[in-house]
Chain A
Amino acid sequence: MRFSREIITSSLVPIARQCRRKGWTPRRAGSERVDRRTLCTVVAILLLSIFSCARDGANNAIAADGPSFNEAFRFLEQATFGPTPELLMHVQEVGFEAFLDEQFSMPITDYPALEEIWPPQPPPDCTGTCIRDNYTMYPLQKIFYQNALTAPDQLRQRVFFALDQILVTSAQNPNLRLPSRMTYYLRTLMEGAFGNFSDLLYNVTLNPSMGRYLDMVDSRRANPNENYAREILQLFSVGLSELNPDGTLKLDQAGNPIPTYDQDTIVAFARAFTGWVFAPPPNTGVVNYRDPLAPNQTLHDTNPKVLLYGVTLPEGQTAEDDLNQALDNIFNHSNVGPFIGKRLIQHLVTSNPSPDYVARVSAAFNDNGAGVRGDLPAVVAAILLDPEARNEAPYENFGKLREPVLAVTSLLRNFGTTEATTDFVLGESYMPASLRMDEDVFLSPTVFNFYSSEYVVPGETVIGPEFGIQSTSTSLARINLFYNLVYHLLPISADRPTGTWIDLPLLEEVAGDPPVLVDALNYHMLHETMTDAMREIIIDAVSGISPADLLGRARLAVYLVATSSLYQVQR
């Protein structure tokens, strides 16, 4: 991709302006580090190399008191699937709050409302791509990566991905392997991401995919199924133990955690959730996974039930009344704010939030400032604008290991990967075995997600959920995949006609000067957190490659930064 000199010149203006504002002083006297003028110019060239459209640079006004490049970079790592040159500029221009407002009101880049025409088992004439497109997650995974890499409503997409890992369904269940079924669950989460958690819980509960996955559909009074009752409490709302507003455990007088519920509570909720069946099918021969489950009063247990806080559902209520009141009972439990708030923090910002941070977010859950409980945009804004998230010098345990999906999307977005350089077929099912990292989107092994939110890093005292799938095996797979992306080696096939890689044409132009090359990547991938020792190692390695092989130098530098633990951990 090439640009006219005119575009380059006009787009340099705002970057130069920013660089001027930040000052030009080298980081330390006597350092080999190139000064900021050179650096900013290099970065500008780098950014331009990956812009897909011309921008009217003259109109870009970076607010004097707005976020710096590095501040915008960190923010976008938490709020999107990775900073892009365009968003970096934009956030510096408008600031965090305005960016969030834009995102909250942006149209949804949604999953398609697929027609319910596919029978549970493939008809005999459906083979090959017919199977791939109608009986596997292929089409939905492709949309997922397309959205993650290019959709404008990045924040919704990112929160959607978090919610899909908290309120889990999975196409590992053979009933859900049809995209025409799963897509309606994804649409529910996508819509709910910026709605009220109460509505989300209701819509998830009556979504047919969830109904099938956790067996609420067809659960009847004669033998109520406990599955959904247990997991909605344990995983989707209140958790196992009573929590303080700051997410820490409440303890009894003997110093022990206090269970939020017991087996009798589970049975009571299971009975409250009886009497729901699939809605009538839209076409003959298919099951209705599009419309919410429908009540069937004859299957509903009308006996009284004692729920959380001792709240009793009276005898003789309808399936709808019991369900509504049971969900209200859950939604209003004091655990929901800290429980859901902490999980969202872990997915977006950091694995080990301080209790104060959790308390601030759970306060936003409890009241959005206008007296509304469960307003998810308010929660998301509280998470992303919190001083702990925005602190440029975070504490030692801060951050999160990038999960495989975010590791890949971040790298690709750092280099502006477009439709020309990816076919978006990045689901692990479509990768060689040696590149799989145990996070195949929409195919979680169980309702407990790919990894536990409480996983403790071996040998440490800190939580690192994503370390639950970072093993000797998957950690090498991750490095190997990055190698494939950087060196343009990912095998193509009928399912992956284009392949996926990152283009580095203008990075090559500075590769003649290894310190400049490495400093550009420090700025552009690590928001200037590279240590001097790391810088020296990479400069030495790159300098070992002939200056005639500029592409080789650029690739090695990106490979080394991308596979470094410093890059793998989002801080």
Chain B
Amino acid sequence: MSDSTRREFMTRSGCGLLSGAALLTGFEQFSLMSLFAEEARRNNADYKALVCVFLFGGNDSNNMVIPYDNYADYAAVRSGAAFAIPQDQLLQINPPSAGATYGLHTNMPEMQILFNQMKLAIVVNIGTLVQPLTREDYLAGAPRPSQLFSHSDQQTESLTARSSGASQTGWGGRTADRVLSSETFPIITSVAGVTIYGTAGATRPLVISPAPTPLNQTLRLLRAEPALEALLALDSGKGVPTLVGANSRIVTQAIANSRSLDTDPLLTTVFPNTALGNQLKQIAKLISLKDTLGMRRQIFFAARGGFDTHTGQATGQGNLLREVSQALSAFYDATIELGLADRVTTFTLSDFTRTFRPGGGMTGTDHAWGGHQLVLGGSVLGGDFYGTYPTLAPGGPDDTDMGTGARGRWIPTIAIDQYGATLGQWLGLTADDVPMVFPNIGSFAANNLGFMQAI
């Protein structure tokens, strides 16, 4: 029995079982524990989870994944910027498909290690799209996502995978609707507040607070009263004013779910005490309860804000990328501890990337479009780029802008829909499901980008 399975056994079995086991002879105890270990392995083999980490504000991925061999392209535009990373400080990576050396931001050594271990893939120049789009198409006025460059709209479109206008459901929620089976606990849990990502017809996300709040304190009604619940039932019924009913249903779900979260499992993995570290820690704890809760599929939502670096990017984004790298790495370690490294896939999203040409007195950048995203996990075909790295030339073949004022806002070559469909199929979406969850997927050549290994 490996350490990780033993820990899981300890976590899953209650005190009663454990003390019962302790009374048995050594041999019997061994057999019993083997039995549990076997059950744990079988349950693990029937489990998959996606973890969305949203970088709110628009992460300048132009400063997260930088050409090393072709560093001159970067330096030509950014060398005068306060946040430019010198070539000798880049953390080198060698994606085979790109045929050149690139570098990660100085503050992401954990991501470099995981890339080299083939656990981390980078999907390059991805963004919101309604159809494949060249610069010529764009300049000729071809259909494009609504309200490009607006935070709220581009966030929503990234979370809904509907770039042509408003949608009331997220692609996480729609995915959950297709893969849910007999779960009584919500498939989707957010540790970063209410999000449209997790909302769909049948799915309402559970929202809990991040660590250090103990898991069994995240949803706790301090004073339960039968009459309080009776009033909620009354106010959920017919003839009740719309908003009154809506509120009642949220509280009712909260009370029901709070009864399931009555333990606070311990993990050995040490998480950084940061906003994102504490969110991912809570997710790891919740994953460790999957058998208690009877979960076979789960989707999680975590987020970090502050990426809107119009000024002060050197420190601002620098600190945030360190936090992201350390938190993602710790989370991956926790999935190893739980014996679920190949069963949990973590991926990033962001509003957009930022203008390649700096603004704000050369201390920051403005809103742009296609950027790079990280995908991490034991089932990720890592150590490579997916997609085509953009030509780093303002006014060049990938830019929306023209003329001397061109800023470098890359037109994506991969759609969010394709990214989501790849992840969703790994989780369990069938070929028939894909267009139901990603209605615009037919506009793009591939519905699977190939960065996930089927398991």
Q: Give chain A's interface residues, CB within 8 Å of chain B.
A: 214-215, 218-220, 222-227, 230, 234, 240, 257, 259, 263, 266-267, 351, 396-401, 433-434, 436, 438, 445-446, 448, 452, 456-460, 462, 464, 467-476, 479-480, 483-484, 487, 531, 533-534, 537-538, 540-541, 556, 559-560, 563-566, 568-569, 571
| Given A473-B209, A565-B245; 4 other pairs, CB 8 A cutoff | A219-B361, A434-B222, A464-B246, A475-B250
Expressed in whole angstroms, the minimum distance between the Cβ of B204 and any Cβ of chain A is 6
A537:B231 contact, CB within 8 angstroms: yes
Q: Which of B165, B230, B241 has the most CB of A within 10 A?
A: B241
A566:B235 contact, CB within 8 angstroms: yes
- Give a binary string over B225-264; 1 marks a CB under 8 Å from any A CB, 0 the rest: 1111011101100001111111111110111011000000
Say which residue of A225, A457, A487 sits within 8 Å of B246 (CB atoms).
Answer: A457
A475:B254 contact, CB within 8 angstroms: yes
Expressed in whole angstroms, the minimum distance between the Cβ of B83 and any Cβ of chain A is 13
CB-CB under 8 A from B148, the residues of chain A are: 263
- Give a binary string over B208-226; 1 marks a CB under 8 Å from any A CB, 0 the rest: 1100010001111111011
Expressed in whole angstroms, the minimum distance between the Cβ of A95 and any Cβ of chain B is 27
Expressed in whole angstroms, the minimum distance between the Cβ of B219 and any Cβ of chain A is 6
Distance A473 CA – B191 CA, assembled complex (angstroms): 9
CB-CB under 8 A from A469, the residues of chain B are: 193-194
Say which residue of B213, B241, B247 sits within 8 Å of A475 (CB atoms).
Answer: B247
CB-CB under 8 A from B193, the residues of chain A are: 438, 469, 471
Expressed in whole angstroms, the minimum distance between the Cβ of B279 and any Cβ of chain A is 13
Say yes or no: is B4 at the interface (Cβ < 8 Å to chain A).
Answer: no
B257:A472 contact, CB within 8 angstroms: yes
A473:B361 contact, CB within 8 angstroms: no
Expressed in whole angstroms, the minimum distance between the Cβ of B352 and any Cβ of chain A is 12
A selection of 22 A-B contacts at a CB cut-off of 8 Å is A223-B359, A225-B360, A226-B359, A227-B310, A230-B367, A263-B148, A399-B244, A456-B168, A457-B243, A458-B199, A462-B242, A467-B194, A472-B206, A472-B207, A472-B254, A474-B207, A476-B258, A479-B251, A537-B234, A538-B231, A560-B228, A565-B248
Q: Across the interface, name the chain A residue whose C-beta is closest to B255.
A: A476
Expressed in whole angstroms, the minimum distance between the Cβ of B409 and any Cβ of chain A is 8
A470:B227 contact, CB within 8 angstroms: no
Say which residue of B146, B194, B231, B366 sits within 8 Å of A226 (CB atoms).
Answer: B366
Q: Give chain B's interface residues, CB within 8 Å of chain A.
A: 56-57, 146-153, 165, 168, 190, 193-194, 199, 204, 206-209, 213, 217-223, 225-228, 230-232, 234-235, 240-251, 253-255, 257-258, 305, 308, 310-311, 357-362, 364, 366-367, 400, 405
Q: Across the interface, name the chain A residue whose C-beta is closest to B169.
A: A458
CB-CB under 8 A from A446, the residues of chain B are: 56-57, 151, 305, 308
CB-CB under 8 A from B251, the residues of chain A are: 475-476, 479, 565
Expressed in whole angstroms, the minimum distance between the Cβ of B159 and any Cβ of chain A is 13
- The 5 A-B residue pairs with the shortest CB-CB distance, nearest first, are A471-B207, A541-B227, A472-B254, A227-B310, A565-B247
Distance A555 CA – B82 CA, assembled complex (angstroms): 59
Expressed in whole angstroms, the minimum distance between the Cβ of A168 and any Cβ of chain B is 12
A459:B204 contact, CB within 8 angstroms: yes
CB-CB under 8 A from B362, the residues of chain A are: 223
B152:A452 contact, CB within 8 angstroms: yes
A534:B359 contact, CB within 8 angstroms: no
CB-CB under 8 A from B249, the residues of chain A are: 459
A476:B199 contact, CB within 8 angstroms: no
Q: Which of B231, B305, B311, B357 has the most CB of A within 10 A?
A: B231
Distance A422 CA – B204 CA, assembled complex (angstroms): 37
Given A470-B247, A473-B209, residue A480 in contact with residue B226 (CB < 8 A) = no
Q: Across the interface, name the chain A residue whose C-beta is closest to B164.
A: A256
CB-CB under 8 A from B367, the residues of chain A are: 226, 230
Given A434-B213, A458-B204, A470-B247, residue A559 in contact with residue B225 (CB < 8 A) = yes
B228:A473 contact, CB within 8 angstroms: no
Q: Across the interface, name the chain B residue whose C-beta is closest to A231.
A: B151
Distance A347 CA – B153 CA, assembled complex (angstroms): 22
Say which residue of B150, B220, B305, B366 sits within 8 Å of A227 (CB atoms).
Answer: B366
Distance A220 CA – B362 CA, assembled complex (angstroms): 10
CB-CB under 8 A from A462, the residues of chain B are: 242-243
Q: Which of A214, A471, A534 has the most CB of B within 10 A?
A: A471
Q: Across the interface, name the chain B residue whose C-beta is closest to A175.
A: B312
Q: Across the interface, name the chain A residue whose C-beta is closest to B251.
A: A475
Q: Across the interface, name the chain B residue whose C-beta is closest to A478.
A: B251
